[in-house]
């Protein structure tokens, strides 16, 4: 029987087959469009140049976003989500009920608000970390991935917090790449099909190029539309199928802040960078703004300690924010343990 590490190596090598296939198809499409269509088939120089300019614009953006998605390493939980050595040793010795008590104490100082379906603290026994909100373990990557969306075989990578923007742009530019090819090839496809152009070596490439571009466009369009819907709702693919569970129960819209803020969370504040595969997403992947929180006294104490406040004044309006300020809480001490709703812009 082959050693485990040999099987792992073979598995990782085979995982690159879909990526190699995509790159071969893209390489052939580049040759077929630039050489066979533009150089050998299109007679008009002005049409030829205009096609080549736009084609290369889409091609560069498509390849750039595709390889950014592939090369961006999935973000994993930081060390603060790991149990201390003493806690870990104690955890391994205890029964499930006692283990949960250990996890609850360890999670008090962490921005963790989601739970398992049974209300337990989410813990990965394989990675030995308390899972941050929206974090899941990927068996293919063999690691916990922050804001995991899914594992995509076409990029041989997990799509999550570190590369979700790149993935959405990859879908957008691949769709534009395909629709531009199909639209500009169509008239020459018809001419070859109806024998208005002579049978040359370009005929096969032009005919096949149209079919491939149209087929990929249709398949990518549905996936791109689905992920635009997810962005607008601030959900991952996992959350779309299984609503995240908060202290007050499952809430499929728990992370939704309204359409515009949901888009900004993925693409950033500066719209001039939205169309480029440059990292501009909000946050650190460990904590997320939520619409509804049920805060217990320990969480309140942690929030006040982080913000350096010994007392609170004014109306009750707790808000979970990103960055170093994990919980910003302003409200009466008598009301802090109650469930509070953060006012967000209404969703359509």
| Enclosing domain of residue 99 | 77-130
Q: Which of 135, 138, 152, 178 is an active site residue?
A: 152
* 341 within domain boundaries: no
Same domain, yes or no: 165 and 246: yes
Residue 1 lies in a domain: no
Q: In degrees, to the nearest 5, what angle opens at C-alpha 301 toward C-alphas 315 and 102?
A: 140
Sign of CA dihedral 262, 267, 268, 273: negative
d(CA 185, CA 65): 24
Q: What distance in Å separates the CA atoms of residue 319 and residue 292, rounded to the nearest whole number?
A: 9
Q: What is the pLDDT along the chain (348 residues), one digit of tens a residue?
A: 457 778 888 888 899 999 999 999 999 999 999 999 999 999 999 999 999 999 999 999 999 999 999 999 999 999 999 998 899 989 988 888 899 999 999 998 899 999 999 899 999 999 999 999 999 999 999 999 999 999 999 999 999 999 999 999 999 999 999 999 999 999 999 999 998 998 888 999 999 999 999 999 999 999 999 999 999 999 999 999 999 999 888 999 999 999 999 999 999 999 999 999 999 999 999 999 887 654 444 444 444 444 443 333 332 333 343 333 333 333 333 343 333 333 334 443
Give the total number of structural domains in the chain.
Answer: 2
**What would the two tokens of residue 299 be?**
């969480």
Distance CA(211)–CA(78), nearest Å, equals: 47
Q: Are residues 69 and 160 in the same domain?
A: yes
Contact 101, 81 (CB under 8 A): no
Are 96 and 51 members of one domain?
A: no
152 is catalytic: yes
Please state the pTM of the whole predicted model: 0.83
């Amino acid at each position: 029987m082959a050693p485990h590490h040999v099987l792992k190596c073979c598995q990782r090598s085979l995982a690159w087959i879909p990526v190699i296939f995509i790159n071969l198809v893209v390489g052939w499409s580049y040759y077929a469009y630039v050489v066979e269509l533009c150089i050998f088939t299109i007679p008009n120089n002005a049409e030829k140049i205009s096609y080549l300019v736009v084609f290369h614009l889409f091609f560069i953006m498509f390849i750039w976003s595709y390889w950014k998605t592939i090369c961006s390493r999935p973000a994993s939980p930081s060390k603060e989500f790991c149990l201390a050595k003493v806690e870990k040793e104690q955890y391994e010795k205890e029964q499930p009920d006692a283990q949960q008590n250990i996890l609850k104490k360890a999670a008090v100082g962490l921005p963790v608000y989601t739970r398992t379906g049974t209300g337990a603290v989410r813990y990965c026994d394989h990675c030995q970390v308390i899972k941050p909100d929206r974090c899941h373990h990927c068996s293919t990557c063999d690691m916990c991935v922050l804001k995991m969306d899914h594992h995509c075989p076409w990029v041989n990578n997990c799509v999550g917090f570190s590369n979700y923007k790149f993935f959405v742009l990859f879908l957008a530019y691949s769709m534009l790449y395909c629709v531009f090819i199909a639209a500009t090839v169509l008239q020459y496809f018809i001419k070859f099909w109806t024998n208005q152009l002579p049978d040359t070596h370009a005929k096969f490439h032009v005919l096949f190029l149209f079919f491939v571009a149209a087929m990929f466009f249709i398949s990518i369009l549905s996936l791109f539309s689905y992920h635009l819907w997810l962005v607008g709702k601030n959900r991952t693919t996992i959350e779309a199928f299984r609503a995240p569970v908060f202290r007050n129960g499952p809430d499929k819209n728990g992370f939704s802040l309204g359409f515009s803020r949901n888009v900004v969370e993925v693409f950033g504040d500066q719209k001039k960078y939205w169309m480029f595969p440059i990292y501009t997403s909000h946050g650190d992947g460990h904590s997320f703004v939520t619409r509804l929180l049920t805060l217990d006294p320990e969480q309140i104490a942690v929030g006040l300690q982080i913000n350096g406040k010994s007392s609170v004044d004014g109306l009750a309006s707790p808000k979970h924010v990103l960055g170093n300020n994990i919980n910003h809480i302003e409200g009466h001490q008598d009301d802090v343990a109650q469930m509070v709703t953060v006012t967000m812009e209404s969703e359509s």
